[in-house]
Every structure is written in structure tokens, then in C-alpha cells.
Amino acid sequence: MLLRRIVLPTLAAALLCTTSALALDVTFEIHMEQQIALDRFDPAIDTVDIAGDFNGWGSAPTVMSDPDADSVYTATVGGFSEGQVFEYKFRLNESWGGTEEFPGYDANRMYTVVAGSNRIEAWYDGYLPGGGEPDTDQLSWWNDSVFYEIFVRSFYDSDGDGIGDLPGLTMQLDYLNDGDPATDTDLGITGIWLMPINDSPSYHGYDSTDYRAINPDYGTIADFETFLAEAHARGIKVIVDYVMNHCSNQHPWFTASCANDPEYRDWFRWSDTDPGDGGWHSCGGDWYYGHFGSGMPDLNYDSPALKTEMFDTATWWLQNVGVDGFRLDAVLYIDEDPGQTQTTPGTLQFWQDYNTHVKSVNPDMLSVGEAWTGTMEVLRYANEDRLDLCFEFDLAYATVGAINNSNASWLDTRAALSYVDYDYLQYATFLTNHDQDRSFSTLGEDQEKAKAAAALYLTLPGVPFVYYGEELGMTGTGDHLNIRRPMQWDTSSWSGFSLVQPWQDLGSNWPWRNVASEKIEPGSLLNFYRQMIHLRNENAALRRGTYTRLASSRPEVLAFLRQYGGQTLLCLINTSDQDQNGFEVA
């Protein structure tokens, strides 16, 4: 939104105030078809209601009814305001924790109210609409993929300057996937996500100065095209970071805008005074908006010319260069409004427009969004023709927490909710990423815990993303520089990453946690990741299969079934460091 100083007549101001205060309705729907068909819910005696912080958590629960007798129970609650965030949960027979037949709805969910229609739809206990196995013809290539997130600067240095580069990445592709399905010595990944490779003044690249140029530290566009061709030859799809929310304050667009160039002035958000609500920075006597700091001014998509340029750039990467899609940074913040920075109506409309455009260029391209928030808000992006996948942060927290707490109960609930809430299997799973403490550090540098965590997210539903070095047990906490250290290849100087001192110090465990050492150790973390990824690649039930929760007599054990095409896999994962004997699953 472009903010300008304006003066409104009293009547206009009053009308504006009245309009912004309009109360909004939220309609809740919960599908009980399968429960009724299986005689697990009797409409004559059983009840469903909705409780939340909007109705006193059950002091005045809102009863849901089925007036059409279609087994879909609904209730509409009014009085919400745009941008309001509330918690809620469905209840069966006035029970907070569900029953033996209906586990999993003891967890609070969150929802953000938007302008227009607000509808929350769910299927009780994870059953899909219509029952049975879903139509997997609607799945896409990414559902058969395991992705590997790479920071090019830290992966492999080919030219001896201490900085990883694209030719170096190309040289190491066989480690990731050698292209021969008959071998099992490679890691087995089939997708790569590259963190920003555009020209940028920073080490991390999330502040581009040219969206169509390669950072010269990494090489040239020809180097990228060579890498892309080699990856494709091995059956690896490649998506690249496209940072659409903001650019660098050194970008020529911004310097021209700051200088009041009329062609670029409205490509950024300007105010002649500091609005005083945070995120505003001075330049040329005026104030511009940059949510992530003064060095990263937000782009203003109220400018048709800017929007066209950014969409054309997406076309260039997809059509001219040939990438397979984008990872999209900070998708929550495209269009901030006063008092609301996330998930505004303008932001939601932008991603719908974006999706329409990129799918017209390549219907098979993948868009993965970073919506770092609770699941119910993420669903506004993932389930409504905006983005194909979003990262499931709530599930990631539950996965790591299950291992650290030796208790799978919360993960059991969270995994079931993710499976139900998203379109079938359309969410991205992970442990931690480049903005978080490395998973091996969060797991106490315990190899067995790391193996259990890997087993969880490589067998649960969703599309998994492995952060480079996670498979080795690389560590890092605190400053992002510590989390993005050079890859640990072998025991030679600088761990084989470079012939000279790298741009950033190596992690302290590089002498024993490196590719060369772990490859020859049968019980290593690397070999476990390799085995789990190949297991997933070889079993369609783990990639495309339905998910059925099983009740375990031990909270330490997560039990579930994955089923597809006549194949049924029973998955049992022990989240504790104690053997589990004599337990039952049902």
C-alpha cells in the first residue's frame, strides 16, 4: 500500500471509520460423513460444537448443526473484525480431548479473519472427503521428491577464493544424486532449493540488486545453465529463491526512487513524514517502508509497472533459463496495512495474481512459500490457488519436540492436523532451516536422536526438505553466520571445501562429521539419511500414500500406516533413548 499524506472532510472520515469497523462472520464446517458411515457418530444422540477465545472457551459454546442432512455440520459466528486472530477447537459431545474414537481434536487451532468470506473447513479425525484413497492423479512431481536446501556460498569452492560457487556445486552433484537409479551410494535427493543466487551486496543474498543477474561470487548465468542441465540430467528438479517482498537499498530502482525519479518513485512506499508505526526509514528527506530493515526496502505492488516487471522476471527464470519453480521468501508481508503487517487482503490477492501468472507460463512449476506462522494462517496461502506448498513450521516444532521430550503425543496430534488441514499431501516438511539453529544442535548433538528425527519427517506425509549438512550432523546456533557454515567434505585442510581459508569458519566437528568419514561408517548419520531417502524413493506409499494414525500404548512410540496402490507400510518410530518392549498399537 502506498501511503500519502491526505486530508479528508469530516463526513468522509466518519464513513471510513464506519466501514473499517464492520463486523465480519466466520463460518465453521466439519465433515462427519465417514464417521456416520462407519457408525462412529450417531446424529440422533451425538453433538458437535465449536469453542474458542471468542466465546469464552465453552462458557457459551456454539452448537453446530446439519440442517441439510448432508453430514456436514456448520455454524456461523459473527462479530469478528478484519485482521483479528483467534484460537478455536471443535468438540465432540462437549469433550475437550475427544474420545477414543475421535482423537486429535484436543489441539487449539488459530485463524486470522480477512475481508470478505471466512470459512473454516475440516474433516473429523483425518478422514478425506469421499472416503478411501484420494485421487492421486492430482498429485504433482514434487510429491515424489525429496528436496535439498543449498547455500551456494557454503557448498563447494571450485576456484580457490574461499567462496562456494556454481561450478563447485555442479562438481558435487553426484554426491546428491548420480543419476543412476541402480546405485544407492548417493544421497538420493531429487530436488534442490538454492538460496538466493542473484547479485547482492550481502553475503546471504536476500537483498537483490539485480533479479536477473547471478552473484559474481558464484559465477555467471552460463555457469548456472550448466549446473541446471547437469541437475536435470540426473533427474533433479531445481527451484531458486525469489525474494519478491523487498530488494536492496542499493538496487538501481531504489536509488532512482529515492532521487524522486517519476518512473520509479511509486515502486516503493514513501511518506513525507514518519508514520510512526515501525518499519519506516529516511532517505532524501522522505520516509520509505522496509519491514526487514533499512537495507531492504519493501517493493510496492500497488505500482502496475513494478508488478509487471517482477512477474516478467518470473517468466524469464521459468521460460528463458528453465528453472522448475521458486521458493518464495516472506510471503506474509507483500502488502502491509496500518496496524496489520501479515496476511492482508492485498497480500492474499497478490499471491493469487502471481499464481495465475506463473501457471500460465508453466503449469508444472512449483511455488513453495515461507509463511512463518501458525498452520491456520498458512492455509490462507496453501489451499486457495495461491501457492503449491508452504513450509509446515508447527509440524517441524512438534517433530523436534517429540524427540527432545521422548514423547510423540503432541506430534501424533500435529501430524494428523496437518494431514487433514492441507490439500492432500500439499505441504513441505523439514526439521530446521537456514534461519534456525541447526537440527543437530537442537537435538543435543545426539546422533540417535538425529536419526529418529530424520525417520519421522521422511516417512510422515508431506514433501520433505533437507538442509545441507543436516545429514552429516553439522552444528550451528545463534548468529545466522554460524548456521550457514561451509559444507564438511573430508578431513583435509578446510574440510575439502576450499584450498584456502573459507569465507566463514568451519564448524568444530568437521574432523569427524564429514562426507568422506561418514560414508565408510555403516552406522553413520549420513548413511542413515541415505537409506531413509532411498526407502522413500522406492516406496510410493511414503510419497503418495494415505496416512492413518494408530493408537500406541506407549507415548514414546509414534505409530501410523501409509497406504497406496495395494501397498501398506506400518511405521513405528521410538522417540526415546530407551528400548520399547511389549507395547501395543491399534
**Distance set, CA 477 to CA 45, 72, 142, 431, 433 (Å):** 54, 47, 30, 14, 11
**Distance set, CA 321 to CA 238, 313, 325, 572 (Å):** 11, 11, 11, 43
Integer-rounded Cα Rg, in Å, for the chain is 25
User: In whole angstroms, what is the distance from residue 165 CA to residue 270 CA?
Assistant: 37
SS3 24: strand
Answer for the pair 64, 28: CB distance below 8 angstroms, yes or no.
Answer: yes
User: In whole angstroms, what is the distance from residue 332 CA to residue 322 CA?
Assistant: 27
User: In whole angstroms, what is the distance from residue 129 CA to residue 217 CA?
Assistant: 50
**Distance set, CA 42 to CA 37, 45, 106, 396 (Å):** 10, 6, 21, 36
User: In whole angstroms, what is the distance from residue 126 CA to residue 135 CA?
Assistant: 16
SS3 419: helix
SS3 406: coil
Residue 181, all three cell numbers: 537409479
H helices of 76-188, in order, are 166-171, 173-176
Q: Write down the residue that cell numbers 501395543 correspond to.
A: 584
* DSSP calls for 458-483: HHSSSEEEEETTTTTT----SSHHHH
Task: Give the side-chain half-sphere CA count within 13 A for 573.
Answer: 30
SS3 221: helix
Catalytic residue annotation: 329, 370
User: In whole angstroms, what is the distance from residue 82 CA to residue 485 CA?
Assistant: 42
SS3 286: strand
Number of Cβ within a 10 Å radius of residue 218: 25
Q: CA nearest 428: which of 373, 389, 384, 377?
A: 389
Q: CA nearest 412: which of 271, 313, 514, 554?
A: 554
361 Ramachandran zone, left/alpha/beta (phi>0; psi -120 to 50): alpha
What's CA 351's distance to the chain center, in Å? 15
**Distance set, CA 424 to CA 37, 103, 355, 465, 539 (Å):** 21, 20, 19, 18, 18
User: In whole angstroms, what is the distance from residue 50 CA to residue 28 CA?
Assistant: 8
